[in-house]
Amino acid sequence: MSPVEDLNYIHHFPPTREAAIERLEAIDPQEYARSRNDLEGAVTGLSPYITHGVVSLPEVLNAVLSKHKLGAQDKFIMELGWREFFAHVWSHRGEGIFESLHEGPLPDATYSDEMPDDIRQASCGIPVIDLSVRTLYQTGYLHNHARMWLASYCVHLRKVHWRVGADWMYAHLLDGDLASNHLSWQWVAGTGSHQPYLFNADNVARYAPKAWHSFESVIDRSYEALGQIAQDPRSFKPDSRLGLASKNDFPPLIEPTLSSVPPEDLGFTKPHPELVLNKAVWLVHPWSLGELPKSLPEGTVVIGVLLKDFHNRSPWSERRWRFVGERMAQLAPHLWYADTVTLKEVLKGAQSVSSIDTMHLKPWLSQLATLEPQPLLFGSLEKRCDSFSKWWRVAAQGTHWRDKLG
């Protein structure tokens, strides 16, 4: 068994609501709080289902509170809060989250706009980095701690610009959420936080299995030394003395292909105007893969849509295309792939067109349909707040669910 397969948090993610509910019912918030930082800890495995709307944040919390008494400061609740906080920042900053929120340890121009081949091929010789990349490619998933280690290494040691790394990781993640992913990379980079996130070999050894340990490598240094490296504009590449290439048995990997078009066998077609003529239409998109609204009028035509405009900017791995496409086919008898201009023309003949709102498709979906808001856990704050601690104090105090807490 490989070091990737040996981790008990590595699962297949069946694209069904039943699989999401099964994971939801298995959550132990106390064990989660105790071991969530460990790569073999009690993580929930729910993130792909939450990202794509198979289950909502309120649904997750209500299910957990039905079995466990939790307080507002419980780690599990706060982690749900982080996801909604990132969405809050995106809703106010829009495209601004794809640029540095402020200067990091070094000016943006210092960092490279290319991901080094040895990182892409999982062959840099540092076990924690190579295994993180292999896990990402082979499963479409990566424990949050490993995501932070990988991002920190890319930005602070190899001097890769955080946006380059964030785009690369997002494309391969099954649970990739643009707000959570890109703002987390900014937090690690120090452009979205007060200081850069650093890690060393001791930290890896504390939270990862032995195969991931990286002593005698470039990260086997004190935090003070790593802080100095983060401030140094040079790229600290692995070398024969400090790297561990000679101790790794992993051959270089070929990075999975990314595509802006879904696989043909998923059955997406061009739009058919006659299907929607004088009909009520409900659009299912990749971030609304939960149960259909019970309030849909009889005879509503349900169509799964993939917007070419978005995927030209953000291509996906085949693994993610299949997760989304197979779940979408369970909900919608008709599957379309088209650009916004084409869909807008086709949908003009419909009696009405509705869907669920999402920041991922905001520039395009708002031209096509009347949008219903996504269910929020903590409520919407009108004023932008870039600090999680400040946002949490306001959001958590004003929520309707507090009377359910222990």
Residue 156 is assigned to a structural domain of this protein: yes
Band of residue 401 on the pLDDT scale cut at 50, 70, 90: low
Residue 133 is assigned to a structural domain of this protein: yes
* Mean pLDDT (whole number) for 1-9: 57
Percent share of the chain, pLDDT over 90: 83
Question: For 249-359, where are the E strands, in sequence order?
Answer: 258-259, 280-284, 301-307, 316-317, 334-338, 352-356
Residue 229 is assigned to a structural domain of this protein: yes
The amino acid present at 369, given as its one-letter code, is A
Shared-domain flag, residues 71 and 205: no
- Confidence (pLDDT) at 202: 98
Does residue 131 carry a pLDDT above 50? Answer: yes
Residue 2 is assigned to a structural domain of this protein: no
Give residues with Cβ within 8 angstroms of 295, minimum separation 6: none
Shared-domain flag, residues 324 and 222: no
- Confidence (pLDDT) at 46: 96
Shared-domain flag, residues 179 and 127: yes
- Confidence (pLDDT) at 6: 57
Shared-domain flag, residues 76 and 136: no
* Mean pLDDT (whole number) for 373-393: 87
- Confidence (pLDDT) at 241: 42
Does residue 242 carry a pLDDT above 90? Answer: no
Residue 142 is assigned to a structural domain of this protein: yes
Residue 283 is assigned to a structural domain of this protein: yes
Q: Whole-angstrom Cα distance, residue 253 to residue 257?
A: 12
Shared-domain flag, residues 41 and 185: no
* Mean pLDDT (whole number) for 236-262: 72
Our separate counts of H helices and E strands in the chain read 18, 7
Residue 5 is assigned to a structural domain of this protein: no
Shared-domain flag, residues 362 and 394: no
pLDDT higher at 155 or 217: 155
Shared-domain flag, residues 38 and 149: no
Which of 67-81, 155-169, 233-247 is predicted least confidently?
233-247
Shared-domain flag, residues 190 and 241: yes
The amino acid present at 3, given as its one-letter code, is P
Can you give the pTM of this predicted structure?
Answer: 0.94
316-327 burial code (b ≥16 CB/10 A, e <16)? bbebbbbbbbeb
Does residue 384 carry a pLDDT above 80? Answer: yes
- The CATH number of the domain holding residue 297 is 3.40.50
Shared-domain flag, residues 59 and 118: no
Q: Which residue range(s) make up the domain with 148?
A: 103-256
* The domain boundary residue, chosen from 209, 240, 256: 256
* Mean pLDDT (whole number) for 15-19: 97
| Cα 71 from chain centroid (whole Å) | 26
Q: What is the pLDDT of residues 37-83, one digit of tens each?
A: 999 999 999 999 999 999 999 999 999 999 999 887 789 999 999 99
Instruction: Please state, as a whole number, how many other Cβ atoms lie within 10 Å of the Cβ of residue 9.
Output: 18
139's tokens = 């499963």
Residue 194 is assigned to a structural domain of this protein: yes
SS3 256: coil
Domain count, the chain: 3
Band of residue 379 on the pLDDT scale cut at 50, 70, 90: confident
Shared-domain flag, residues 357 and 302: yes
- Confidence (pLDDT) at 403: 57
94's tokens = 């829009």
Does residue 159 carry a pLDDT above 50? Answer: yes
Query: Across all residues in the chain, what is the average pLDDT?
Result: 92
- The CATH number of the domain holding residue 116 is 1.10.579.10
- Confidence (pLDDT) at 9: 45
Shared-domain flag, residues 63 and 139: no
* The domain boundary residue, chosen from 203, 230, 256: 256
Q: What is the pLDDT of residues 78-123, one digit of tens each?
A: 999 999 999 999 999 999 999 999 999 999 999 999 999 999 999 9
* The domain boundary residue, chosen from 211, 226, 256: 256
Shared-domain flag, residues 247 and 125: yes
Q: What is the pLDDT of residues 352-363, one digit of tens each?
A: 999 999 999 999
- The CATH number of the domain holding residue 21 is 1.25.40
